[in-house]
Amino acid sequence: MLRAVGTAVYLAHLGFPVAAAQMEFSVRDGLYTTINLPDNLGIGASRFLCRGAAGEEGGYRTQQGEILFIIFDELFRGTNVKDAYEATVAVSRAFAGRRNSLFIVSSHIVEAGEALQANDGVGFHYLPTRMNGHVPEYAYTLEQGITDDRHGMIIIRNEGILETLRNGRKKGKAL
């Protein structure tokens, strides 16, 4: 979903049509994203450090008055959950004060969303997962709010991961 939004905004800025029934946007000075931002081994920077640097650059440019569209995908992936939670909340609060730009911050850390609910200028949307028995189904339609989905263990059971770890690979199942 983040790639689709980023691509649509980028193409619209170039004057190209977008794959959407309808789209409204304001022209921006730039677009930043951390989607698929890798480690930079050439300079000895981890993915976490690269994401932090992208956040710093976006923050600096908005402080200088630039009007940006920024997408942070799992802003602090690459560190432990407690550290990622604290950093996500702190940075999201700081960016929420930048009224001249639009930021999308994705996170699987539901508790970060709960901590940010009281902040003015922060909205919440998620892609729901519906269960059809023990099988997850994805509607790919945004809903308002913070998800309470917890499907990790269901997927682990459905895929037989623990059974495979105990008993080895199932016959006929290729990687």
pLDDT band at 49 (very low <50, low <70, confident <90, very high): low
In the chain the first and final C-alpha atoms are separated, in Å, by: 27
Q: Distance between CA atoms of 148 and 34, rounded to whole angstroms?
A: 25
pLDDT band at 52 (very low <50, low <70, confident <90, very high): low
Question: What is the b/e burial string over 76-87, where b = at least 16 CB atoms within 10 angstroms of the residue's CB?
Answer: bbbbeeeebbeb
Task: Scan for tokens 């794959």, then name that residue.
Answer: 19
The topology under which CATH files domain 2-123 is Rossmann fold (3.40.50)
Of 119, 69, 68, 124, the residue nearest 96 (C-alpha): 119
Determine whether 127 is exposed, middle or buried from the number of CB atoms within 10 Å of its CB (0-12, 13-18, 19+). middle
pLDDT at 55: 64
Q: Indicate if the alpha-carbon torsion angle 143, 139, 27, 35 is positive or negative.
A: positive
Alpha helices in 97-151 (DSSP H): 110-116
Task: Pick the more confident residue, 45 or 85.
Answer: 85
pLDDT band at 51 (very low <50, low <70, confident <90, very high): low
pLDDT band at 50 (very low <50, low <70, confident <90, very high): low
Break the chain into its structural domains and give their ranges: 2-123, 126-175
Q: Distance between CA atoms of 103 and 33, rounded to whole angstroms?
A: 10
pLDDT at 86: 92
- Name the β-bridge partners of 105: 72
Per-residue pLDDT for 149 more than 70?
A: yes
Task: Pick the more confident residue, 128 or 44.
Answer: 128
Per the prediction, the chain carries an average pLDDT of: 82
Residue 79 falls in which region: left (phi positive, over 0), alpha (psi -120 to 50) or beta:
beta
Task: Pick the more confident residue, 46 or 7.
Answer: 7
Q: Distance between CA atoms of 146 and 124, rounded to whole angstroms?
A: 6
54: Cβ–Cβ under 8 A, 6 or more apart, which residues?
Answer: 32, 34, 37, 72
Range from 4-13, 30-39, 50-59, 63-72 that averages highest in pLDDT: 4-13
* Per-residue pLDDT tens digits for 20-34: 888 888 888 888 777
Its pTM stands at: 0.73
pLDDT at 81: 85
pLDDT band at 7 (very low <50, low <70, confident <90, very high): confident
103: Cβ–Cβ under 8 A, 6 or more apart, which residues?
Answer: 58, 70, 71, 72, 92, 95, 96
Q: Are 28 and 58 in contact (CB under 8 A)?
A: no
